Chains A and B, each alone.
Chain A
Amino acid sequence: MSIAIRNISKHFGAFHALDDVSIDIPSGELVALLGPSGCGKTTLLRIIAGLEFADSGRILLEGDDASERHVRERNVGFVFQHYALFRHMTVFENVAFGLRVKPRKYRPNENEIRKRVSRLLELVQLGWLADRYPSQLSGGQRQRIALARALAVEPKVLLLDEPFGALDAKVRKELRRWLRQLHDEIHVTSVFVTHDQEEALEVSDSIVVMNKGRVEQIGSPDQVYDHPATPFVASFLGSVNLFHGRVEDGHLHVGEHALAVGAGHVATDQAVGFVRPHEFDLLPANAPGTGLPGKILRIIAIGPLAQVELARPNGELLEVAILRDTLSVLGLREGDEVSLRPRNIRVFQNNERLAA
């Protein structure tokens, strides 16, 4: 079922939680709402679910206006960050809950309930835990049960509020792969909220990047990562190095150095170049060609990668990620002077991307 979010605004007292937000989510997609805490992403999710109501704007589910509908009648499955399982019920009864509370004429019989719950527990690979209580499960298991419970009522839309936020790094990684596989199996339109850009990039079909109650950019993971529409998106998805300067004749002039950025860029004095840590080549200072000078302060080895901290002559710090092998081939060490060669620069002026 498709979801259309139309001009949603929401205040909490003086705080503007959502400001004229419009998003279209096609049927069957897995969409991430990504943003820092307080950006309004959870509020938006709760408004889609009917747990919260907008001050203005409309929510259309499959084209029907659902803005005034109670959460009971929206047919959405909601998964909470802290699971919200029913503590006094077994895993089986938790999953069966949605079936047991149906009005009598729609309620499946005991046999059918048993069959459907077993199938769902199979789907989340936890059939062997049916008789346990939530307190006896690990966090990852609890969240999978919460998901099975939400799916039991065959929702048209699945909404997940930071579903992996309370889990440790390893389980989180496993679960998000698993969620992706599950989604490929059942194809229910899903929206999940996260502040973890890696999670959003890995799991989703498309990402909605939000900041301060507004949508910054909507696009596929590749689009938002490689072609950020705003400086916020560029810096929120992964780390970036900033170079302030002016654009002239297809070059970004940083101090006395000029970096080629392509002829399409309009000339300006107020340009900022964004370069991701892995988009640099490091060469010894005396290597031919133009680059920015820098001095290596620290080299931190993280697995196959080295994270290199550099200082520019004006004192600004830079972060560069480079293969450790490359570093050792070049023979670079802490304290060495180097030449930095950005392979890719995104240039923004104020809040706008300059044409590339």
Chain B
Amino acid sequence: MAIRKRFSPLPGFGLSLGYTIFYLALIVLIPLSAVGAKTIGMGWEAFWAAVSNPRVVASYELSFGASLLAAAVNVVFGLIFAWVLVRYRFPGKGLVDALVDLPFALPTAVAGIALATIYAENGPIGSLLKPYGIEVAYNPNGVLLALIFIGLPFVVRTVQPVLADLEKEVEEAAAGLGASRWQTFVKVILPHVLPALLTGFAMAFARAVGEYGSVIFIAGNVPMVSEITPLMIITKLEQYDYAGATAVASVMLIFSFILLLIINGLQGWMQNRYSKGA
């Protein structure tokens, strides 16, 4: 008996899936597996020595710590940004909307140099902060600042359409039922945008972990204090320590992958919970 072939009403599943896997392999998986291959070739002890060097460990702490913090800051301010752009009309709104994307477009080195110049002790903002004992440039604060800068558009752009999708009537309904503004925000608006907020967080975080160009100009790159992991990798490369560089890279890769997996899982769980079938 012949097995009847089943057709999906959506065309091109085989073709598009095949293409997706091929493309993913070519662009993402093969280059990454080269990192793995290089690392495996160096032996366990050399690997451990390379990745557990105190200077490198300090750089993990800074890179992941600052990236998480920057993404968290961006969640708060990105939400406010998106809120303003969706809910209010004001002169120059189009301009503000376009400015949000600027960190996407600007060469990161330009951003880094600009930030460093402005926030340095003798810069226009740095000189104002100096009397209060606040130093931003050439220390971990600078790293955080640069990472906040490059991550902002991710949160704004993921939350904005979701927020726009929330009808005004829903808020009116909440108010009509006696909810205060704060209750409406916490019980109605926030749950609605939370999955998008989490996506924005994940993207801003991922971008921040991999960021190099803007950070190195403002970080000062003091060993054990303000060196980020990508800088450690570059440093090793410059010393022709290719194996060491890939070892550090692979640790970073695994950390990032696990964190993103957790965030994605959390988001999927939330989607399920909040909008079954919607």
- Chain A residues with CB under 8 Å of chain B are 49, 51, 70-72, 76-78, 80, 82, 84-89, 97-98, 100-102, 133-136, 146, 149-150, 152-153
- Asked whether B57 is an interface residue with its Cβ less than 8 Å from the other chain, the reply is no
**Judging by beta carbons under 8 Å apart, are B274 and A87 in contact?**
yes
Cβ of A351 to closest chain B Cβ, rounded Å: 36
Contact B169–A97 (Cβ < 8 Å): no
The 8 Å CB contact of A88, one of B172, B192, B277, is B192
- A-contacting residues of B (Cβ < 8 Å)? 167, 169-170, 172-180, 183, 187-188, 191-192, 273-278
Q: Is B167 within 8 A of A84, CB to CB? A: yes
Does A76 lie within 8 Å of B176, measured CB to CB?
yes
A contact residues around B173 at 8 Å (CB): 78, 80, 84-86, 146, 149
Contact across chains for B276 and A51 when beta carbons are under 8 A apart: no
CA of A85 to CA of B167, assembled, Å = 10
Total A-B Cβ pairs within 8 A: 80
B179, A97: Cβ atoms closer than 8 Å: yes
Quote the shortest CB–CB distance from B175 to chain A (angstroms).
5
B216 → A minimal CB distance (Å): 42
Inside 8 A of A80's CB, which chain B residues have their CB? 169, 172-173
Q: Is the CB of A51 within 8 A of B278?
A: no
CA distance A80 to B167 in the complex (A): 11
- B192 near A87 with CB under 8 A, answer yes
CA distance A301 to B12 in the complex (A): 49
Is B275's CB under 8 angstroms from A133's CB? yes
Contact between chains at A84 and B170 (CB < 8 Å): yes
Contact B175 A88 (CB under 8 A): no
B277 to chain A, nearest CB (A): 5
Q: Is the CB of B167 within 8 A of A72?
A: no
Chain A nearest CB, measured from B136 CB (Å)? 39
Do B274 and A101 have beta carbons less than 8 Å apart? no
CA distance A100 to B179 in the complex (A): 9
Contact status B274-A88, CB under 8 Å = yes
Q: Which of A88, A101, A136 contacts B177 (CB 8 A)?
A: A101
Q: Tell me which residues across on chain B come within 8 A of A71, comparing CB atoms.
A: 172, 175-176
Cβ contacts under 8 Å, A87 to chain B: 192, 274-275, 278
Q: Which residues of A contact B174 (CB under 8 A)?
A: 86, 97, 101
Closest 3 A/B residue pairs (Cβ): A135-B278, A98-B177, A88-B274
CB proximity of B229 to chain A, nearest CB, Å: 38
Shortest distance from the beta carbon of A86 to any chain B beta carbon, whole Å: 6
Bound CA–CA A84/B187 (angstroms) = 14
Residues A133 and B278 in contact, CB atoms below 8 Å apart: yes
Taken together as a complex, chains A and B put the C-alpha atoms of A49 and B274 apart, in Å, by 29
Chain A residue nearest to B270 in the complex (CB): A88
The answer to whether A136 and B176 touch across the interface, beta carbons within 8 angstroms, is: no
In the bound complex, CA of A146 to CA of B178 (Å): 15
For the complex, give the distance between the alpha carbons of A149 and B178 in Å: 12
